[in-house]
Amino acid sequence: MSEVGAALRDAAARLAAVSDTPRLDAELLMAHALGIERQALLLDPPRFAVPGDFAALIDRRMGHEPVGYIVGYRDFWTIRVTVGPGVLIPRPDSETLIEAALAHVEDREAPLHILDLGTGPGTLLLALLSELPEAAGLGVDASAEALAFARRNAGELQMQDRAIFREGDWTDGVAGQFDLILCNPPYIADTEQLMPDVADHEPAGALFAGPDGLDDYRRIIPDLPRLLAPGGVAILEIGASQLISVSTLAEAAGFSVGCRRDLGGRDRALLLTRA
């Protein structure tokens, strides 16, 4: 076994105590320390020597610091999203919203107007714009820190002319109508226990939403009818056990409701269309 291979094996064994994906974490941290892509590392590990700062990166991960914060990015859909402390790290489950949005608009030819509520580092909006070159959109977030990441990501992806970001409290002050509305709001109940890498590092304001996790849905959904263009769809991420409760709120606001499951088979994306 090569020096790098042995280091990866030993690191993965350590990280198994704190991570559900210890080998992946070790590979991402090794690639970061080497200044290369993970794919290059996996193609030919013996050509590399273990960098001196690899052990320190593993120690940081052993302290439950998220890999995304350590390496400074998270790959999502087909884009790379720059992240750091103060911003929610994109999750693979959220790609379900992108799949649902693209399926809804696959036959549309006119340029689309997209709204991303709670945009964070711009994840959902920029992923969709990467697939829809004629589309433009608005991302809204209450966090100036998150919006700084969003604007940086738009620039790095050369989408700054199509993605506008502004600070705001959900739909307050948002005008016009949108063909696609995306929203991944906080939906975790205040009393729910999270893994330390989430609870101790990621912003609580992007995670928790009252005693039942529904506080932000109660604020957002009633205002969506005025913002959704005819033929449009609003797609909300939900927790795996929230289909009935959030659907009830949406139906009360006059929407027809559908649901798309993530790759794990869990209810994940709620699709709201005009009833």
Binding residues for S-adenosyl-L-methionine: 118-122, 141, 170, 184
The whole-angstrom separation of Cα 250 and Cα 248 is 5
Binding site, by residue number, is 118-122, 141, 170, 184-187
How many other CB atoms are found less than 10 A from the CB of residue 12?
18
Looking at the chain, the number of H-run helices and the number of E-run strands are 11, 9
The whole-angstrom separation of Cα 38 and Cα 32 is 8
**Structural tokens at position 21:** 């994906």
**Is 128 in contact with 70 (CB distance < 8 Å)?**
no
Of 58, 59, 65, 68, the C-alpha closest to 91 is: 68
Binding site for substrate, by residue number, is 184-187
The whole-angstrom separation of Cα 76 and Cα 103 is 18
Give the residue carrying structure tokens 């690899």: 54
Which of helix, strand or coil describes residue 121?
Answer: coil
Which of helix, strand or coil describes residue 74?
Answer: strand
CA 272 centroid distance within chain:
20
**Is 75 in contact with 100 (CB distance < 8 Å)?**
no
